Every structure is written in C-alpha cells, then in structure tokens.
Structure 1
Amino acid sequence: MTNFNKTLLLLIFLLSFVSLQAQDLSIEGILGDKIRGEKSQGAVVVEGIELYSQNELPKFYMNREFELAWTSQKNKKDLIESIESSYDEGLNPEDYHLKKIRKLMLKSEKQNLSKAETADLDLLMTDALILYASHLLAGKLQQSELRKKWDVDRNVVPADPDSLLTTTLHNQKIKPVLEDFKPNHYMYGFMKLHLKKLREESTQGGWPKVSEGEVLKPGDTSVRVSEFRKYLIAVGDLSESRVENENVFDKDLEEGVKKFQSRHRLNSDGVIGKGTIEQMQVPIEERIDMLLLNLERTRWILHQPDEDFLLVNIAGFHVKRFTDRKEVFNSRVIVGKYHKETPIFKGVMEYIVMNPTWTLPYSIATHETLPRLKKDPGYLAAKHMEVMDRNGKILNPATIDWAQYSSGNFPFIIRQKAGPWNALGEVKFIFPNKYAVYLHDTPSRGLFNQQERAFSHGCIRTEDKWGLLMSLMDDPKVWNMDKINEILKSGETTTINLPKPINIYLVYLTAAVDEHNNLLFMKDIYKRDKAVFNALNEPFEFKKAD
C-alpha cells in the first residue's frame, strides 16, 4: 500500500471519528461548545453569520445550562410572524435571519433536524428576537454617528434582559412584549398606517401626474385644473364629487389645495404656484422613503414620552405641547439657518425671563458686531447695546480703540439692553444646556409669515410667546395678559420659575402625523435625510456586540 493510500485511509478514519463524536454530543453539548468555543475566539457565529448579541446571548444560554430555548411551536410561529411584520415598522425582515430561520423551519416540517441544525435554529431565533427588540426600542441606527448635533441619549434598555427573555419565552408572550417595545405615541402608529397605505398605492401605479405651467388661482379655467383635481382626490385632500366643469378652479378645489399646502408646510393661500407644484411632483416612492426614515427617528425620540412635554420639530418650524397624549399648544417658530443648525437634544425647561437682556455670544460679538464697530463707533448706541469688561463693569465705548481687536484678542462682553428692540424680544424660555440654546421672542415678527423659517443662529424664536407662557404657568387667574403687561411696563428683567419643570424635545422630523391623522411632509432643511435613509437601507452588520 502506498504512503498516499495510507494517509487517505487515516484521514477518512479521523473524519469518521470526529463525525461520530459530534453525533454523540447532546444538543446542549453542541450549544455549549459553540458558545464557549467560538466566544473565546471573539464571536458566536452561525453559518458564517456573526450574531448580534455577543454578550446577552451567551449569558442567556449559560444561565439555562445550554438547554434549548425554542421548544414551543407557538413561540416559533409568533417570532416568525413578528419578524415578517417588521416590514410594516419600516424595518427589513432580512436583518433578523429570516431566510435562514425559514429554511430550517421548512426542513424541520419534512424531516428531523440534526442536533447541530437544531442548535443553530435556536441560536438564530434567540439572536433575532434580541436584535428586533433592540431595533424597536432604540432604532436600527446610531443616530449620533450619522451627523453631529444629534445629541439624544439612546433609550434605556431593560434592567435585566436575560430575565425578560426567559419570562417572555416561558409565558409565550413574544408579540405583546415586542409591542411594548414600540414607541408609545400616536404619531408612530399613524405613520405606520400611512406607510402601508402608500405602499399599496405605489403598487397600483402611484399618484396622477400634474403639469407645470403658469400660476392657477380660484376662478381660473384650464385643462390643467382637472389634473390637480384628480391628484388631490388621490392623496386624500379633496373629496370625490360631481362638478359641472372639472376644468374650473372652484371653491372645493381651493380648499383641497389649502389642505395640501398645510400638510406640506407651504403658505396655505389656495393658489397653485411653483412651490405647490414642486411638492405635488414628488413621487410616491420618495414619500415612502421619507416615512421609513422618520419612523426610525421616531423610534429614537418618542419611545416612552412624558405625559406632559414640549416638542420642537425643527424641520416643521413649530413647537407643540402634549399633555395626556393630546396637543394643547401649537405655535410657529424660527430655527437655526443651515450651517448654524439648531441642535437636536432633550432638555428640561425650568424658568422664563421677561424683559430679558441679551449677551451676545462671542462668535457674534467678534465676527458680526466688531467689524461694524470698526466702521461705525456709534453702532452700539444705535442698537441699545453696552460694552463690559470680563468682570461685568460697564465701559465707555468711545474710549476703546476697536481697530486693535479681533476674534483672537477680544476681551469684552457686549450686552443688549431690555426693550422692544432686544433681539430676544420680550421673553425667553430657558432649559439649561451646553449649546446655550433656548426659546425666545423676536422683534422681527414678519419672519413668521415666511414659508421656510430658518433664520436664527441656533436658538428658537417663538411666535405665540404669551400663549406659551400662559400654557406653562397654567394659572389663568394670575398669569393673564394683565399680569404680563404689568411686568412689561415695569421694564425690569424678571425671572419666573415654572410651577413644574417640563421636558422639551428638540427633534428633526421631515415626515410626521398630527393628532387628526393628517400626514405631514417637511423640507429637509439641514440635508439630514439622505444619510439616514442610506444607512437604514444597508443590511444590518452582525458584529458589534451589545
């Protein structure tokens, strides 16, 4: 016998021995070897896939001495149905091992799985449940990694996930537990309904097309009017009814146009101009994408909202107050311009200041005010400003040689006095934060009539300032316009503590739903959407342990 034949026989013998050993191992032994052995090398892997839960999953199986977790057919069925329904959440079912789980489940219906296959199926299902639950709880993406100035902490995970997982499987409560992990706010549920509706409409050809052309106003007659009528009926802003002449821009069509404009944060003038047509020409597929990425944002920020909170939607240019899940206050706002973005974070509003002074931020004082002072020494007086040293001592601006200073050696503080000229207006609402951002009034009231209101350096200017103050103070017998006017007339800077501090969420949603189930779309003023959508569309990578 040649050396080659001897080697071949030895190899066959060794392989047979290893195979017999694997067959002799119990499923618990296979699970233990897979978790202990592969974990020691850096990752638990099933069929080449590095599993998501590299910490919780091994702990879970070690605590149960590597017994199978998925012995209940109901649990298996509920998990698969839940993963399939992740599509309706705006997520990708294939992120949760769906193909591999289905393949093994289908095989098990025709023949018994091997012990190794049974172990793999158990691990895949456990990992899928943990991963899907984490995505519902905190989102698929790490929002702060996609773009700076998104400074919202991730939602808190359950204190004892191992116990929760064990109890969930034991009580066969997979679906109810996953439901509890979804954002508990009407906006999330309504957005899902609209996503499903738009997807169905997309498969049926989408929305009717509208043509560009000259501006159309109520009373006009044009063949293009019928196009807009059909479009508005399709998107739900106009009821279908018989009309004498579908080419006449009648009162019903005007109301439909206004509703469409309101939903898209356009000036609701009932006139079909360039801006309105642009929004009507956005294809349904793009609107679906907007819903997908904003469902993800909703998972980041509205998982378990407070019973009473303020919400500023930067992209929507508004601030709202929600109390007991109802909208009780709504006002238009002005936000930071592009490149001077209003940051996204959560804070606690604590107090209000009436007749505020305004201390100019160093960047504004040196880059905007100082160049003007060099040209016009009387600029400070004209703007009701005063200059101080670092100790707060008021200085005479006429004694200062402004030409010798720059942004690198500016030792002064510039403050604008209280009054109707003040950049902060007559009131500001303070929630202490590292960005020095707050809500405030403005003397430039006409800017609230603009369609896109991104004009500030980052702070939020509020239109209905007194409505907000009276809402927060919640004592109309004391805090009414008589009281407000009394303080204003005094001219004194007055600090008012809120009777109860209130959480405020500064968020960025380009698609949302109001409490009346109206679907809203906003312009992506900070150009944030593309990065979120691209990342959301990528397969989830099973390598970062959690």
Structure 2
Amino acid sequence: MITRQLARLALQFLLLTVAAAHAAPTEPSVRDLLDRPGLVQLPDDPDELFDANAVRRFYTRRGFQPAWTGPGCQAALQQLIGAIEDSESHGLSARDYHMDGLLGSGRCDATRELLATDAWLALAAHLHAGRVNPLTVEPDWTATRPTIDAVALLEQTLAAGDVAGALERLAPHDPLYAALREALARYRSYAARGGWVGIAPGPSLRRGDSGTRVGQLRARLQLSGLLEVEPETGIDTRFDDTVEDAVRRFQRRTNLEPDGVVGAQTLIQLNRRASHRIEQARANLERLRWLPEDMGRRHIRVNIADYRLEAWADGVLERVHQVIVGRQYRSTPSFSGQITRLVFSPWWEVPRSLAVKDKLPLFRRDPGALDRLGYVVIDRNGGVVDPAGIDWKTLSANNFPYRLRQRPGPKNALGVVKFLFPNAHDVYLHDTSEPALFSHARRSFSSGCIRVESALELARWVLAPMPEWTRERIDAAATAGVEQVVELREPVPVHLLYLTAVSDGNGGVRFIDDVYDRDPALITALDRAPPVVAP
C-alpha cells in the first residue's frame, strides 16, 4: 500500500516536473544552436552570422565550452566590445559586428556567445584583409590578399587574454595607415563641430585682392596648417605674399597647377566638406588593408591617382619618379604583377584601337607624318606596305586592314626603354618621347600604359642586381636603334595602386583628387552589410 502510494506520488512529481519544463523551457546550449542545420540566423537575434562554419569549427575544437559568457570570461567580452567600438577608428562600423546583440537584452547566453565569436572572427578578417572584396569595386585587382587562420588565432588570443591587442595587430603597419586613422579622427571632430566655413563663390582670387572672401580663404588655409594663425587683432582680409605661398602649397598637396591663384578647381578643393575627407580616409584605409603583407624585397609601387612611382628595397624608399597614366576613358587598371624583362630601343606595336582612333585621323590630315614619325604599315599577310600607295581617306575604323609599328628612335612613343610585366591588360611601364608633359600637375594623358619620367634611371635601378649591366652598357642599348631584350634573373614585383590619400612626408596625410571617380563605389560597398560566408 505504501509502495503504491509512493509510486503514485513519484509519478505525480514527474508529471509536474515535465509540465514545469514545458511551461518554462530551459535556454538552448551552444551545441543546440550549432546543431541547427544551415546555421546562419539565430533564433533570438536579427543579425546573421558572418561565418557560421568558422564559428562551428571554433566550438567543436573546444568541446562546445563557452569563451565569452562562462565564469571568468567577462574580461574577454569587455575587451571585445571595446575593440568593436574602436573599429570605427579604422573606418569600419561597429554595427557590423553584432554590437546590438552583445549589449542588448533578450538574447540567451548561447546566442550572445556565438555572436561574440562571430564578431571577433569577422573583425579579424576585415582588419587583416579588408571588409570589401576588391574585385567587386576594382575588377582588375589581382594582388594576393593577406590570409590568416582566424580560428586558431582566436584560440591563442583567448589563452593569452589579449583579445583587443590581437585585433589591433592584424591591421596594416604602414605609417600611412596610422596617419589616416589620425586624419579620420580629426575630420570627424571638425564635422562634429559643424565643419568649416566655405569660401563664397565668385571670381578668381589672387595676390593683391582683399575682402570678405579673402578672409574666408585665410581662415581655411589656417585650418589646414598652411597659414599661421594671426593674433587676435581682427580678421585680415588681404591676399598677400604669404597667402599666395600657402595657396601654392595647397595646390601641390592636391595635384593642382601651383599658380597661387584660387580659380575654379582650387576653390572646389578648398570647399571640400569635412564629410568628404572622412569618406576619403575610410576608402583609403580599406585599400591599404587589401595590400599583400609582403610587397617584395625590391619592388615598385605606382599610385595612379598621385601620378607617382616609388622604387623600394628592404623597406627603404630608394627612387621616386613622376608618371603619366591613362585618361579617364582609358583608365590604368589597379593590379599587381612582376617585371620579368626590359626592352631597350623598343619597337611600338600600335594597338588597333589607337591605330584607328588616333593615328588614322592624323594620317588623313597629314600623310607625311607617317614617315616623319617612323611608322611602318603591315598588311594582313605580314608584308610591309608602301604608305604612298594608300588612300588614307578611304579607310575607316571598320575598314582598316593594316597594323602599325613605330621604329626605335627619338620619336618612338615608348622612348628608349619599356618594362614588361605579363598581364591581361597589356599594360606596361615605358619611357616617353614627350617629357614636357611631366610639367603638368594632372597627368592623365596616356592610353592606359604608364609613362615614367627619367625611365633610364629606373632601368638602372631594376638592373642593379645584374652588375654586367653597367651604366655604359645601358646607355649604349638605349641609343642603339636596335631592339634588345633583357631577361631579369630576379623578377621585380610591381603594384599599380589607386590611393586618393597619401603621406605628406611629415607624418600627415595629403588628400588628392579622385581622378577616376573610384571612391564613391568603395564607400557604398563599405556602408552595405558585410557579406555572409555560405554555410
């Protein structure tokens, strides 16, 4: 009897326990959530996981034990939240890293746990290799992006208790990156205070002028650090020698003709809002994150937007050359390659597009230009054609059965040397027969290839590891009038970059014009939600 009563009581207790369990279900565990098929969306948070596969791998390797929400884990979580907040200083957005889910209420511990791990892995990937896939905004990009095993690094980071420091070390170490972060903070501060007063529209301003607009100009130049702030003796409204000098320096900073006159283009740059500079800083921080960690012991960098080539060896800048790049409608692409050969006294094989668009109209107007400039006409069978027998006026883009080649010599468009790095765009570096064009501040004149000022000096630098190529031998090859190919024993990496913010040489930043209008697409991509890695 007693046994039967005990059994009945036990059954009642069990039923009550089950009912209570159904009435107040227990929270899911980390493993429960990870066992959901196709895990991307968590049940109690609107954010998707950036990389569910990596999150699952991390917890599988640690036996599904918590890393952020268990006993003794609060310090790591606080470091992570601080690092997410600091992502704004890198031009990223804290909202992309589950900040609401980590700080808000209504999430179970397991959800918060997975969000924290996903946030760290995503931020690590973005700081190390960029948040935007460069191919989505720079289709020609071929540089190898940095890679890391983020899961293994997170394991090491948690063991060392250095969650935030490890993230900071993943960002680029380039001094320009640090300078851009400082500039970003400075322009955000300007924007928070309402920005700066612009210069009112009107006629060009030059030395000898005075008035309200000159006062506005002086204030703007003072804000840029180009003009000393005057003692409080009233607003100076004179355009004197010091203002002209400051305007010239501003123009050089922004790749404008340094004439000291505030014309239309200079006024546009002076009136750029603080918000514009913020976006420029963000765009270029991202571009720096795309770059490979190892650019090459000896390598060449070309910044298309700054019309500048740099030759580096063992971390030291050894040479700087001005360059001419492609027109906007024949823009020079951004990619990386390896210079494998130099060609002295080169022939120029005129691309068909240039032959029919540029040369054919010239020869129609002036058939004698063909001989004067050293062009040879080749028919479809590879035979040389006497140009005197061609009626140029009957030819057109759709009826041009010839190839054009230009002989080596002083009129050759490629100058005395070209630098070849195999690529799908048929782009290369070369000398030029028109050195006067380097005197222009804006130098987007070419058809896509890159013309190098003092190209023969760059050739000496490239050939320096091959001592048999003496100065005399190089000079002889350049003036021989006979094409000569030099195969490099060690290829030289070359990186064609597009940066609209560069070092000013004094630890600061110089913003330059977005000559190809590439910044807006990158900013738009940065402002979109980050892509999810398919589970």
TM-score by length of 1: 0.85
1:281 aligned onto 2:282: no
2:124·2:150 contact (CA, 8 Å) conserved in 1?
Answer: no
- The aligned residue for residue 50 of structure 1 is 48
1:234 aligned onto 2:232: no
Counterparts of residues 12-51 of structure 1 (less than 5 Å): 17-18=21-22, 22-23=25-26, 30-39=29-38, 47-51=45-49
TM-aligned CA distance change 1:370 to 1:31, over 3 Å? same
Counterparts of residues 212-231 of structure 1 (less than 5 Å): 212-231=201-220
Per-residue displacement from partner, 1:434-472 (whole Å, max 9, x unpaired)? 111011122222322233222211101112323323333
- The aligned residue for residue 4 of structure 2 is none
- The aligned residue for residue 101 of structure 1 is 102
2:121·2:151 contact (CA, 8 Å) conserved in 1?
Answer: no
Q: 2:35 corresponds to which letter in structure 1?
A: R
Shift of residue 136, structure 1, vs aligned partner: 0.8
Separation in structure 1 between the aligned mates of residue 120 and residue 250 of structure 2, nearest angstrom: 40
Per mean C-alpha deviation after superposition, the further-off stretch among 424-433 and 223-232 is 223-232
1:141 aligned onto 2:132: yes
From 112, 115, 121, give the equivalent of 1:130: 121
Separation in structure 2 between the aligned mates of residue 465 and residue 495 of structure 1, nearest angstrom: 16
Shift of residue 347, structure 1, vs aligned partner: 1.0
Shift of residue 366, structure 1, vs aligned partner: 4.0
Shift of residue 373, structure 1, vs aligned partner: 5.5
TM-score by length of 2: 0.86
- The aligned residue for residue 424 of structure 1 is 414
Q: 2:99 corresponds to which letter in structure 1?
A: L
Separation in structure 1 between the aligned mates of residue 396 and residue 213 of structure 2, nearest angstrom: 58
Per-residue displacement from partner, 1:248-276 (whole Å, max 9, x unpaired)? 33333233222211111112232322221
Separation in structure 1 between the aligned mates of residue 141 and residue 189 of structure 2, nearest angstrom: 36
- The aligned residue for residue 335 of structure 1 is 325
From 198, 210, 231, give the equivalent of 1:209: 198
Aligned residues: 516
Shift of residue 163, structure 1, vs aligned partner: 2.2
Moved beyond 6 Å, runs of 4+: 12-15, 400-406, 475-481
Counterparts of residues 242-391 of structure 1 (less than 5 Å): 246-301=236-291, 303-370=293-360, 378=368, 380-388=370-378
2:324·2:443 contact (CA, 8 Å) conserved in 1?
Answer: yes
Separation in structure 1 between the aligned mates of residue 232 and residue 239 of structure 2, nearest angstrom: 11
Q: 1:95 corresponds to which letter in structure 2?
A: D
TM-aligned CA distance change 1:209 to 1:34, over 3 Å? same
TM-aligned CA distance change 1:226 to 1:373, over 3 Å? closer
**RMSD (Å) for aligned C-alpha atoms:** 3.2
TM-aligned CA distance change 1:534 to 1:238, over 3 Å? same
1:187·1:514 contact (CA, 8 Å) conserved in 2?
Answer: no
Per-residue displacement from partner, 1:69-95 (whole Å, max 9, x unpaired)? 224222212111110100000000010
TM-aligned CA distance change 1:325 to 1:227, over 3 Å? farther
1:425·1:443 contact (CA, 8 Å) conserved in 2?
Answer: yes
Identity among equivalent pairs (%):
33
From 186, 208, 213, give the equivalent of 2:175: 186
Per mean C-alpha deviation after superposition, the further-off stretch among 189-198 and 388-397 is 388-397
- The aligned residue for residue 78 of structure 1 is 79
Separation in structure 2 between the aligned mates of residue 310 and residue 503 of structure 1, nearest angstrom: 6
Q: 1:331 corresponds to which letter in structure 2?
A: H
Q: 1:317 corresponds to which letter in structure 2?
A: Y
Counterparts of residues 388-403 of structure 1 (less than 5 Å): 388=378, 393-398=383-388
Secondary structure, counterpart of 2:111 in structure 1:
helix
Separation in structure 2 between the aligned mates of residue 16 and residue 408 of structure 1, nearest angstrom: 84
- The aligned residue for residue 439 of structure 1 is 429
1:490 aligned onto 2:480: yes
Per-residue displacement from partner, 1:62-117 (whole Å, max 9, x unpaired)? 2222111224222212111110100000000010001110125xx9xxxxxxxx81
- The aligned residue for residue 163 of structure 2 is 174
2:30·2:113 contact (CA, 8 Å) conserved in 1?
Answer: no
Shift of residue 342, structure 1, vs aligned partner: 0.7
Shift of residue 190, structure 1, vs aligned partner: 0.7
Secondary structure, counterpart of 1:191 in structure 2:
helix
Shift of residue 291, structure 1, vs aligned partner: 1.1
Separation in structure 2 between the aligned mates of residue 445 and residue 206 of structure 1, nearest angstrom: 41
2:295·2:493 contact (CA, 8 Å) conserved in 1?
Answer: no
Shift of residue 232, structure 1, vs aligned partner: 0.9
Q: 1:185 corresponds to which letter in structure 2?
A: D
Secondary structure, counterpart of 1:49 in structure 2:
coil
- The aligned residue for residue 87 of structure 1 is 88
Separation in structure 2 between the aligned mates of residue 15 and residue 408 of structure 1, nearest angstrom: 84
Separation in structure 2 between the aligned mates of residue 153 and residue 425 of structure 1, nearest angstrom: 29
Structure 2 unaligned residues grouped into runs of 5+: 1-15
Separation in structure 1 between the aligned mates of residue 19 and residue 278 of structure 2, nearest angstrom: 54
1:38·1:44 contact (CA, 8 Å) conserved in 2?
Answer: no
Shift of residue 486, structure 1, vs aligned partner: 3.3
Separation in structure 1 between the aligned mates of residue 392 and residue 205 of structure 2, nearest angstrom: 55
2:138·2:334 contact (CA, 8 Å) conserved in 1?
Answer: no
2:300·2:312 contact (CA, 8 Å) conserved in 1?
Answer: yes
Separation in structure 1 between the aligned mates of residue 259 and residue 359 of structure 2, nearest angstrom: 38
Per mean C-alpha deviation after superposition, the further-off stretch among 188-197 and 176-185 is 176-185
Shift of residue 415, structure 1, vs aligned partner: 0.9
TM-aligned CA distance change 1:129 to 1:485, over 3 Å? same
Per-residue displacement from partner, 1:190-244 (whole Å, max 9, x unpaired)? 1111111111122223223323333333454445333222211111122224599
Separation in structure 2 between the aligned mates of residue 411 and residue 135 of structure 1, nearest angstrom: 51
2:248·2:259 contact (CA, 8 Å) conserved in 1?
Answer: yes
- The aligned residue for residue 9 of structure 1 is none
TM-aligned CA distance change 1:45 to 1:153, over 3 Å? farther
